[in-house]
Structure 1
Amino acid sequence: MERGSSRLRRLVHEVAKFGAVGGAGLLVNLGVFNLVRHVTDLQVVRASVIATVVAIAFNYVGFRYFTYRDRDRSRRSKELTLFLLFSVVGLVIENGILYAATYGFGWDSPIQSNVFKFLGIGVATLFRFWSYRTWVFRALPAREAVADAESFLEAEAKEKPRTRVVS
């Protein structure tokens, strides 16, 4: 039971770190989106794609050097290729929702665009979290084993009462 609890703690910690980077990436994404819309006369979805690409670059740095810094680094080119592949799928999900709202339903006011951009980011984030942790930033098997062993030993130490020798 303790091992499951340790895994749950690690997952909660990972989700929190992913969320911190993702939250900063969300601010970058929405900030660039609104800046591009305000400064240029680009269509909504094109402005959104630009913002998403900037956020993807920002997030890669955050995920690699903060959230998943302890993960396998030996296959960096494969990691980057997979990151970009899954990020493009997330880009399509995110901007597909915005596209449907804008061109399918005619919801294209600045508020509506931001709401559907935010909704698209949320749906794409679920996909990205699963794909990044499963395929891109893979855990080192030895680290997982060591972490499990350490949590097991900690649990054992807590369960066994210490005997004190009095002389």
Structure 2
Amino acid sequence: AFSAVGGLGVVVHLAVLAVAFKGFGEGFVAAQILATVVAMTFNYVVNNSLTYRDRRLRGWRFVTGWLSFSLACSVGAFANVGIAAYLFDRQTFWVLSALSGVLVGAVWNYAVTSVYTWRQQS
């Protein structure tokens, strides 16, 4: 389920990136950062509702869960934007640059958030 949500998150990421970068003429790095934050938030909300519904976070825990998820994903997000920017600067097509960054970030995000954000409560 986490992978399916991640796949939808990639679609969200690319849609936001396309609108910001191509539609509004925002710089690639700024658009990649925006797309990363929007996709990260989308993934958190959907994973909280579906993937981890048995450990669903509600109320204040929903907010603190989003903060912990964002913090846990920040290393992956940093790698995502860094790799995408590096490839884009070297004339790689913007979609391939973005997808390369997303792939690297996704590996980290899955490993950390599945344990950290939705850990079993004792």
TM-score where L is the length of structure 1? 0.65
Distance in 2 of aligned mates of 1:102 and 1:117: 8
Unaligned runs of 5+ in 2: none
Of the three residues 46, 71, 95, the one matched with 1:114 is 95
CA deviation profile, 1:122-163 (whole Å, cap 9, x unmatched): 11111000111111111245xxxxxxxxxxxxxxxxxxxxxx
Q: Percent identity?
A: 29
Pick from 96, 106, 110: which aligns with 1:129?
110
- Contact 1:90/1:125 (<8 A) preserved: yes
Partner of 1:97: 83
**Superposition pairs of residues 71-90 of structure 1, within 5 angstroms:** 71=55, 73=57, 76=61, 77-90=63-76
Structure 1: any 5+ residue segments left out of the alignment? 1-16, 142-167
Name the SS for the 2:54 alignment partner: coil
Residue equivalent to 2:45: 61
Quote the Cα distance in structure 1 between the aligned partners of 2:97 and 2:22: 17
Q: Structure 1 CA distance, aligned partners of 2:13 and 2:7?
A: 10
The residue aligned with 2:12 is 28
> What value does the CA root-mean-square deviation take over the aligned residues?
1.9
State how far apart, in whole Å, the 2-side matches of 1:53 and 1:79 are: 15
What is the 5 A alignment of 1:33-52? 33-52=17-36
Checking the alignment, whether the CA contact within 8 Å between 2:49 and 2:56 is kept in structure 1 is no
Instruction: Report if aligned partners of 1:72, 1:140 keep a CA contact under 8 Å in 2.
Output: no
Find out whether 1:139 has 2:99 as its counterpart.
no
User: C-alpha deviations, 1:86-125, integer Å up to 9, x for none?
Assistant: 222221111110111123xx215xxx12112101111111
Aligned residues: 120
CA 1:73–1:38 in 2, change beyond 3 Å: closer, same or farther?
closer
In structure 2, C-alpha distance between the alignment counterparts of 1:51 and 1:78, rounded to whole Å: 22
SS across alignment from 1:35: helix
